[in-house]
Structure 1
Amino acid sequence: MMNFQTTLTTSSLVLTECAISERLRRDEGVRLHPTLFNTPLIYDSNGRKKLAEIYLQYRDIAAQASLPILLCAPTWRVDRTRLAEAGFDESLLTDAVSFMREIQAKRVDSQSAVYVGGLIGPKNDCYKPDESLNADAAEKYHGWQIDRLAAAGIDCIVAQTIPAVSEALGMARALSSCGIPALISFVINSKARILDSTPLLDAINHIDSQVKNPPLGYMVNCVYPTFIRAQEQEPELFQRLIGIQANSSSLDHSQLDGAAILHQDDLQHWGENMLQLNRKFGVKILGGCCGTDGYYLRYLTEHINAR
């Protein structure tokens, strides 16, 4: 199997997962941890089964379409501080990666590679950029988790739902020296600005210019696909913006955060906007975020060749 970086270079489309913890949150038979979310479910027989079912659903959709897929271990914001406060140690990170390797081994298909990623997230609220760390603090804070994910042998590290350039820069510094391919994924608003008000291209150029080994590329997540405003962007953006995990709803974050009701726009509208990002602008990594499930991923695979 090719490594993740080579696959990303040679493939026109790489799938990634749709919602995981957000789906589990709406399952009455599952109780998420208050700070570690879905990660401790790997130690619970029912929770482990539910997690595996969701991951394997996404994996099977990729296999049916003969497409590679990046599936990320449930390690988002499982950092040293939260682990200690919750009474866990760093073995939770290693065990989460081992769980994903089991998922990988259950469905081996030479035409559809599975890559195991490790997630990291912002220290504080992903929708409140004023709570973000500065670059120096972020490099130190996130370096601990990055080092342990790298040691666990993941294929890629994804820094996800980042609301400010300062914290993303510190993450990029720590990722630069870890020896593992990395992606940084921002939360943006409907004007294609990161939540700290920085235009997307400016943020990417700033980080690339400040880091010795920049990330493989950048993504956005927890946004609707139209938020990128692709038609208005400089072509330069899409040399580095290579992925999106999109919400099912076009509502903004203040309307969606903690919503009791599942908000979903028209699936076809979501899907066609996603596919346009791939076909016209070369955004290679496509997946879903809040409100999405297997139906959304399958729409992409069933319509990718339609024109």
Structure 2
Amino acid sequence: MSAPPESRPRYRDALPQLEDAVFLTDGGIETTLIFHDGHELPHFAAYDLLAREGGEDALRAYYEPYVSIALERGVGIVLETATWRANPDWAERLGHSPAELADFNRRSIELLAELRAGHEADSAPIVVSGCIGPRGDGYVVGETMTADEAEAYHATQIATFSETAADLVTALTLTYVDEAIGIVRAARAAEMPVVISFTVETDGRLPSGQALRDAVEDVDSATDGYAAYFMLNCAHPSHFDAVFEPGSGWTDRIRGLRANASRLSHAELDEAEELDTGDPEELALEYVTLRERLPRLTVLGGCCGTDHRHVEAMCAVWPTA
């Protein structure tokens, strides 16, 4: 019988991944569930599994290999909820009411809290993160919001997470700065730690065209540096390695990386009919190479096309000293 889920956050007041020790996170949950596990995810919404019989078991089976790797390697792990699409616009497309949406967000945290209660060890702390996705697409900017509009839009989901065992919230695949600023402000109002992760194109810039350095600095300037740290996602390391200047202060704000397995552009990935999983060992070594330019890089995971094999390869080659 599994341990009951926790009702209170464990690490909200002191995130352990802010230390120098390596932490893992998961890979491309949607691509894994679709291409490897055979699940249909309308609108790429993994949280929709919670509305189906056996959906919780499917999500638990997705997370368990990552938890096992962390335990075997004796490292921490940040587990992200399956709620990247669990915001009002996407829920409306999926036919879920606001009350149902709030319940899905809460249940996604309970699932991870249950995994933590049943598996966490002193050598492998498990941090529970409420995942927030963009209002629109994670590849294309599309219709934008002001920072105030973004704060109001994302506040409900963040407030829901704040009442659970979530230790923090993490916003993934953001394409422009104003939405990031709004999310950070909403998290601060809810007294939640927050991480911001930007999507970048093959030129290392955000889909909005803004330079990554400017985006990080603009978010920090507008929010008094409230974000715990920044991450990059949904691009191959070869797309952005050149934008980092060794010794630049802004690079210290980047602690996490969730790269794609594929070297293809976002447009090419959209048109691809088969999943490009790349080479796990090659991707892992490219992460290690980035360590010289990103001295604070400690949170290692993946995005589209990656799975537990890629994360295990990263952990295997990451320097321990």
Under a length normalisation based on structure 2, what TM-score does the superposition of the two structures give? 0.88
Counterpart residue number, 1:51: 59
SS at match of 1:26: helix
Residue 11 of structure 1, CA deviation = 2.9
Q: Which runs of 5+ in 2 are unaligned?
A: 1-9
Q: Is the 8 A contact 1:14 1:70 kept in 2?
A: yes
CA-CA distance at 1:299 after TM superposition: 0.5
**What's 2:48 paired with?**
40
Structure 2 residue 21 is matched with structure 1 residue 25? no
Q: Which amino acid aligns with 1:73?
A: T
| CA–CA separation in structure 2 for the residues paired with 1:265 and 1:243 | 20
Corresponding residue of 1:16: 25
Deviation per CA, 1:168-218: give whole Å up to 9, x if none.
121122122221111000001122211111111111111111114520011
Q: Distance in 2 between matches of 1:144 and 1:306?
A: 40
The match for 2:316 is 302
Distance 1:58 1:102 in 2: 15
Shift of residue 230, structure 1, vs aligned partner: 4.8
What is the CA deviation profile of residues 87-110 of structure 1, one whole-angstrom value per residue up to 9, with x for unaligned ones? 342111111111111122221211
Q: How many residues align?
A: 306
Alignment of 1:122-201 (within 5 A): 122-201=134-213
1:11 is paired with a residue of what secondary structure? Answer: coil
- Check if 1:119 corresponds to 2:103: no
Which stretch of the first structure deviates more once superposed, 225-234 or 177-186?
A: 225-234
Q: Give the corresponding residue for 2:304.
A: 290
Q: Residues 213 and 174 (structure 1 numbering): CA distance in 2 closer, same or farther, change over 3 Å?
A: farther
Structure 1 residues 163 and 300: alpha-carbon distance in aligned structure 2, compared to 1, 3 A threshold: same
CA distance in 1, matches of 2:273, 2:62: 21
Residue segments in structure 1 that go unaligned for 5+ positions in a row: none
Retained in 1: the 8 A contact 2:302–2:311? yes
Letter in 2 for 1:271: A
Q: 1:209 aligns with which of 205, 212, 221?
A: 221
Instruction: Give the Cα–Cα distance (whole angstroms) in 2 for the partners of residues 265 and 84 of structure 1.
Output: 35
The DSSP-based 3-state class of the residue aligned with 1:229 is helix
User: Aligned pair in 2 of structure 1 residues 28, 295: CA closer, same or farther (>3 Å)?
Assistant: closer
* Deviation, structure 1 residue 70: 0.3
- Identity across matched positions, percent: 27
Tell which deviates more after alignment, 52-61 or 37-46.
37-46
Aligned position for 1:253: 266
Q: What is aligned with 1:242? A: 255
Q: Is the 8 A contact 2:131 2:169 kept in 1?
A: yes
State the alpha-carbon separation in 2 of the partners of residues 148 and 277 from structure 1: 36
- Aligned-residue Cα RMSD (Å) equals 2.2
CA distance in 2, matches of 1:215, 1:222: 20
2:275 counterpart of 1:262:
yes
Distance 1:226 1:202 in 2: 20
How much has 1:134 moved relative to structure 2? 2.1
Residues 12 and 226 of structure 1: CA distance in aligned 2, closer, same or farther (over 3 Å): farther
SS of the equivalent of 1:275 reads helix
2:288 to 260, 265, 275: 275
Structure 2: how far apart are the matches of 1:49 and 1:108? 19
SS in 1 for 2:287: helix
Q: Closer, same or farther in 2 for the Cα pair 1:281/1:230, shift >3 Å?
A: farther
Q: Which moved more, 1:3-12 or 1:294-303?
A: 3-12
1:43 shift after superposition: 4.4
User: Residues 154 and 183 of structure 2 are in contact (CA less than 8 Å); yes or no, is this contact kept in structure 1?
Assistant: yes
